Amino acid sequence: MIEARRLHILRAVADHRTVTAAAAALYLTPSAVSQQLTALEQETGHRLVERGAKGVRLTPAGEILLSHTHAVLAQLERAAAELAAYGSGEAGTVTVAAFATGIAQVVAPAVARLADSAPGIRIRVQDAEGDASLPMVLDRQVDVAVAVEYRGAPSADDPRLSHVPLYAEPFDAVVPVGHRLADAPEVPLAELAKDPWISPYPGNPCHDVVVLACENAGFQPRFEHSSDDFRAVVALASADAGVALVPRSALRGMDLTGVVVRPVDGVAPTRRVFAAVRRGAEGHPLIRPVLEALTGAARA
């Protein structure tokens, strides 16, 4: 008989590529993860992982088992949801990981909505970028992620996750007040090809949006400054340190002295925001109201 918790460990190893990283995500020791993998191999009668200098990879037998693992763990999430519904599930804690502007845009309004519609549900919010929040859901560190589409992100049909679209927003060009395009009604990105750029760090989903937009405009941006805090990005632009693309919602309420904000000419780069939960958990009586509150806040 295969133990479900060992399947969870197998999936974590497949996701994180090393025993050490998987152990850290699961709050286990590397030796405990190795022991569980060995036990799983004994249960199945197959070698499931191969260790190398660059980490761990699944064997063909491991890949077969992983494909069934997604379905098994999703079904267990559904079972937990139905049992919670049977036991009423009207009170409990749901942990939500989201990036800063996502917290302001939809999470905080959702918390306010739930205080009226589902007062028994307590929300715990953690600040995490989109590329970090999805692994946190898969590793069961949080229940819900509010994340942004990015290169390499799990797709909407990923068997491990259920996606709920929330909203999409354009990026605007932010240039110093003395910039040659400051008076233009719209900024053609190709005209910024020779400018120094200010951007979030690589790995941040917004960095990917900036790079892709510039590539579509025919150039590779020259990044001079990096910050994941858009207030810092705007401050650097106001100091004439470079130009930037910033999500529109991140500019709300910000001190824009020294900069000009303009729409991008043509098709504006866009970030698409969604909520994600482990597949099968979307019907849980605690999680379902949270997803409904998030979508309601996004519509509003």
Q: What is the pLDDT of residue 181?
A: 96
Q: What is the pLDDT of residue 87?
A: 66
Which of 300, 277, 280, 296 minimizes the C-alpha distance to 133? 277
Q: How much is the average pLDDT of 67-76?
A: 87
Q: What is the pLDDT of residue 120?
A: 85
Asked if 239 contacts 34 with a C-beta cutoff of 8 angstroms, the reply is no
CB neighbours of residue 100 within 10 Å:
16
Which H or E element spans position 57? strand 55-58
Tell whether the model's pLDDT for residue 287 goes beyond 90. Answer: yes
Q: What is the pLDDT of residue 204?
A: 85
For 198-226, the pLDDT digits (tens) are 999 988 889 989 999 999 999 999 999 99
Which H or E element spans position 276? strand 270-278
Which of 263, 221, 257 minimizes the C-alpha distance to 242? 221
Among 44-48, 85-89, 187-191, 226-230, which stretch is predicted with the lowest mean pLDDT? 85-89
For 168-200, the pLDDT digits (tens) are 999 999 999 999 999 999 999 999 999 999 999
Question: How far is residue 250's CA from residue 273's CA, in Å, rounded to a whole number?
Answer: 13
Q: What is the pLDDT of residue 222?
A: 96
Does the domain at residues 89-167+272-299 carry the CATH identifier 3.40.50.2000? no
Which H or E element spans position 110? helix 108-117
What tokens were used for 219? 């150039």
What tokens were used for 226? 């990096």
Question: How far is residue 204's CA from residue 242's CA, in Å, rounded to a whole number?
Answer: 19
Which of 153, 159, 147, 169 minimizes the C-alpha distance to 294? 147
Query: Do the first three CATH levels of 89-167+272-299 and 168-270 match, i.e. the same topology?
Result: yes
- pLDDT-derived band at 292 (thresholds 50, 70, 90) equals very high
CATH top class, domain 4-83: mainly alpha
Which H or E element spans position 170? strand 161-176
Question: How far is residue 199's CA from residue 197's CA, in Å, rounded to a whole number?
Answer: 6
Q: What is the pLDDT of residue 229?
A: 92
- pLDDT-derived band at 88 (thresholds 50, 70, 90) equals low
Tell whether the model's pLDDT for residue 44 goes beyond 70. Answer: yes
Q: What is the pLDDT of residue 81?
A: 78
The radius of gyration of the chain's CA atoms, rounded to the nearest angstrom, is 22
The residue ranges of every structural domain in the chain are 4-83, 89-167+272-299, 168-270
Question: How far is residue 18's CA from residue 14's CA, in Å, rounded to a whole number?
Answer: 8
Mean pLDDT of the chain: 90
CATH T-level topology, domain 168-270 = D-Maltodextrin-Binding Protein; domain 2 (3.40.190)
- pLDDT-derived band at 89 (thresholds 50, 70, 90) equals low
